[in-house]
Structure 1
């Protein structure tokens, strides 16, 4: 048999090749369409070298998870770099953040929930804050008592109405009270830094040799003074540095205004004087300070120290103190002077006779029928009357009676009735049950929240506890 000839094999192969070419041509359009479909979202049909800026979807704003992260400030210029969920209307404007070319695109799931993250807004040339602090709600507290009547009162501007951040009792009044503000022990102070004035020991002021330091406060220093010709004659020398905030009053016999503290002490010292108010013997003024030479009842201590370190005080002894305190307040009122900072730390007790003397008239003012602005109250926070916190105006007599009630409570209990401004407004008094009912009644009626229902000075003096 003859073998098949090679030419026939070549002819068969040539017949198969056209079939394979037809299959390849049929597949090319399919791959071309797939390729065009893949690259179409990234390149424009007319210019394949330009990136298409996709339009942001406004309905994404309805999704709470897609909203911008809140921050304390909003940068309100337009920005081409948009964080997830944020709409930038005009991508052609330059970046509103300096150095925005270095801003990285963040993964939406990894955007930190931080209040310090700054966002670009669509409103140009306007800056506003997104952060709005919530007001702190204060817990409700019990009322003082059935006798401490709360009445609707107008809200007024007051320095002691502070922001709910700080401030403590007994102490200085600074801004807004609120809430759980604690009470500290010193009186109100200005923000102005105090100049330091000291009297060297052994120096001579008028006819008195300066001795040891008796007391030192934020506004003055008090030294013991001894007369150069008589060692038995002792005085207290109060050195007061001059300040821009000093108040001055015109008084008869002086060609220029006099420091208010000096002027009011001179008025109170006019005959007939009151034995329960410290006497001003002489005063001097130089370029930087005032020197007040006053009586010094030796030995003595403040009523505050007497209460703390002399043991419990009986009602009889407390009555003796209160009668003297009322006489001092009445004398001030009759001379038209409001002390302004009545508290146990501003009352001296002569140890041999238990005689009281009111001191420190730095906050004293002339009484007017219009009253005083609550924002100008400068007394101790622990003795702050209710109306000073809640009303725009307070009056001297009602404030004095409130102070008498706080003072009597402190004498009998050896601590203060209120620990905060919140307690002054909403708290109730915890009285020693061993005290007489008359003593309870007097304290309650002096601390009535409604000044119109509070005792007057005359009614206080005539109260049955005071007459017992």
Structure 2
């Protein structure tokens, strides 16, 4: 133990601690000045390193954006195929020159080609977020340089009308008075027809399906026999549904009706015309329509009658023409344009020589504005010249032209024209043994200018028709 100045004993341990404390260098200004140069050197070295790193990182971006820099690219023999390269955000693929400084390389940005989109992927996902889309003017210029690929022609195009679902049945007894409204229009009839057949022996309504009477592009017609009376015969027309079918709104029906059915119902209203086939009943299911119509037996088409019966006298031809005019007049009075008058669409009852117009598939409602010539669906040989030359044609003039062609065919057993060019330019060569009145009627019905053509009333009052 030692004594302090106050003569108090001090423990050794406290003294030792005081000595140790006194022996450690104090945090004096001198010491701090000695340490400062060492710390400053280290900070300066760190800052220099950071500046070099930042400079090295920034230099590629500045080199890419310099429009005046010209860099020679070194070909890469082991480069990947562009189609296998996937895009990455940020700077594009970077290629350095051969003699570039390792610390300050001369770099160039190559454009990244996005991979081809899969069929079920949206191509917009391949547009980089950081790149802006081209301006509108640039887009227009690009579109102009791309070759235009023409779509299908007007004849090949199809409308997007939907076949009305459900099963509906109707009969002639339904009211069809009131105005019809066109719901859908068929642009063409080039759509392939689905195959719809009625098995022989099957039952449609109260009729047993018999043998096939006729088969066409748009329908099939079968003979039908009433299950309770074998003497009652009908014709059952089976029509497959198509997307381009036309439908009409008619009074007395809760939904639009197939145009052919609607117009036949209108024509069948009392007083009906004996020279137009009568519709007894119609049925609809998910895939087809079934029209049950009268079946005059025995009968054949006027076309077959002309070819198989030999020459037809003017008196017999006059009887046919009077009935044909009555049928066309009845259609016109009910506001219906048949659309496909020809010898193949007229039935002849063999025992009475009574005519009946059939097949109203092309029928339309008559309008004062006329019809678009592109919508004409009749036979080529019966096409009036205004359909070929003009954009609009009218029902009455087209009907008179068709009746003139029909009379020529009855008297000569062949058609006067077989093509559009002949319709527009050829002369009519008629049998010189025919009467002058018959020549005159045919010439005036087949006048190429519809304004100079006979009207339906003038045709009916012509002297040959009155003979």
TM-score (norm 2): 0.61
Q: Which residue of 2 aligns with 1:218?
A: 217
| SS class of match (1:451) | coil
Q: Distance in 2 between matches of 1:342 and 1:292?
A: 20
Shift of 1:128: 7.1
Could you list the per-position Cα deviations for residues 163-208 of structure 1 after superposition, in whole angstroms to 9, with x for gaps in the alignment?
A: xxxxxxxxxxxxxxxxxxxxxxxxx962211111000000000000
Q: Distance in 2 between matches of 1:190 and 1:159?
A: 8
* Pairing of 1:41-440 with structure 2 (within 5 A): 190-440=189-439
Q: Which residue of 2 aligns with 1:455?
A: 454
Query: Given that residues 188 and 244 in structure 2 are in contact (C-alpha distance below 8 angstroms), is that contact kept between their aligned partners in structure 1?
Result: no
Query: Given that residues 273 and 327 in structure 2 are in contact (C-alpha distance below 8 angstroms), is that contact kept between their aligned partners in structure 1?
Result: yes
Q: Distance in 1 between matches of 2:418 and 2:285?
A: 41
Structure 1 residues 353 and 239: CA distance shift in structure 2, 3 A: same
Q: Distance in 1 between matches of 2:147 and 2:358?
A: 52
Q: Distance in 2 between matches of 1:467 and 1:217?
A: 37
Q: Which residue of 1 aligns with 2:78?
A: none
Query: Given that residues 158 and 392 in structure 1 are in contact (C-alpha distance below 8 angstroms), is that contact kept between their aligned partners in structure 2?
Result: no
Q: Distance in 2 between matches of 1:339 and 1:126?
A: 48
Question: Aligned residues, how many?
Answer: 290
Q: Distance in 2 between matches of 1:338 and 1:252?
A: 20
Query: Given that residues 380 and 418 in structure 2 are in contact (C-alpha distance below 8 angstroms), is that contact kept between their aligned partners in structure 1?
Result: no
Structure 1 residues 232 and 334: CA distance shift in structure 2, 3 A: same
Question: How well do the aligned residues superpose, as a CA RMSD in angstroms?
Answer: 1.8
Q: Distance in 1 between matches of 2:292 and 2:460?
A: 32
Shift of 1:127: 7.2
TM-score (norm 1): 0.61
Q: Distance in 1 between matches of 2:381 and 2:368?
A: 25
Q: Distance in 2 between matches of 1:357 and 1:341?
A: 14
Query: Given that residues 444 and 453 in structure 2 are in contact (C-alpha distance below 8 angstroms), is that contact kept between their aligned partners in structure 1?
Result: yes
Q: Distance in 2 between matches of 1:128 and 1:205?
A: 55
Q: Distance in 2 between matches of 1:402 and 1:158?
A: 26
Query: Given that residues 284 and 290 in structure 1 are in contact (C-alpha distance below 8 angstroms), is that contact kept between their aligned partners in structure 2?
Result: yes
| SS class of match (2:451) | helix
Shift of 1:282: 0.2
Structure 1 residues 395 and 126: CA distance shift in structure 2, 3 A: closer
Could you list the per-position Cα deviations for residues 116-169 of structure 1 after superposition, in whole angstroms to 9, with x for gaps in the alignment?
A: xxxxxxxxx95779xxxxxxxxxxxxxxxxxxxxxxxxxxx9969xxxxxxxxx
Structure 1 residues 338 and 158: CA distance shift in structure 2, 3 A: farther
Gaps in structure 2 of 5+ consecutive residues: 1-143, 157-186
Q: Distance in 2 between matches of 1:388 and 1:436?
A: 30
Q: Which residue of 2 aligns with 1:41?
A: none
Q: Which residue of 2 aligns with 1:138?
A: none
Q: Distance in 2 between matches of 1:235 and 1:357?
A: 14
Query: Given that residues 282 and 292 in structure 1 are in contact (C-alpha distance below 8 angstroms), is that contact kept between their aligned partners in structure 2?
Result: yes
Larger Rg computed on CA atoms: 2
Gaps in structure 1 of 5+ consecutive residues: 1-124, 130-156, 161-187
Structure 1 segments, 4+ long, off by >3 Å, are 125-129, 157-160
Query: Given that residues 158 and 376 in structure 1 are in contact (C-alpha distance below 8 angstroms), is that contact kept between their aligned partners in structure 2?
Result: no
Could you list the per-position Cα deviations for residues 44-100 of structure 1 after superposition, in whole angstroms to 9, with x for gaps in the alignment?
A: xxxxxxxxxxxxxxxxxxxxxxxxxxxxxxxxxxxxxxxxxxxxxxxxxxxxxxxxx
Q: Distance in 2 between matches of 1:222 and 1:418?
A: 29
Q: Distance in 2 between matches of 1:159 and 1:190?
A: 8
Query: Given that residues 159 and 374 in structure 1 are in contact (C-alpha distance below 8 angstroms), is that contact kept between their aligned partners in structure 2?
Result: no
Q: Distance in 2 between matches of 1:432 and 1:249?
A: 45
Shift of 1:454: 0.4
Could you list the per-position Cα deviations for residues 389-427 of structure 1 after superposition, in whole angstroms to 9, with x for gaps in the alignment?
A: 000000000000000000000000000000211010011
Q: Distance in 1 between matches of 2:225 and 2:245?
A: 29
Q: Distance in 2 between matches of 1:204 and 1:128?
A: 57
Q: Distance in 2 between matches of 1:399 and 1:326?
A: 13
Query: Given that residues 155 and 188 in structure 2 are in contact (C-alpha distance below 8 angstroms), is that contact kept between their aligned partners in structure 1?
Result: no
Query: Given that residues 158 and 389 in structure 1 are in contact (C-alpha distance below 8 angstroms), is that contact kept between their aligned partners in structure 2?
Result: no
Structure 1 residues 410 and 158: CA distance shift in structure 2, 3 A: farther
Q: Which residue of 2 aligns with 1:465?
A: 464
Q: Distance in 2 between matches of 1:193 and 1:457?
A: 37
Q: Which residue of 1 aligns with 2:183?
A: none
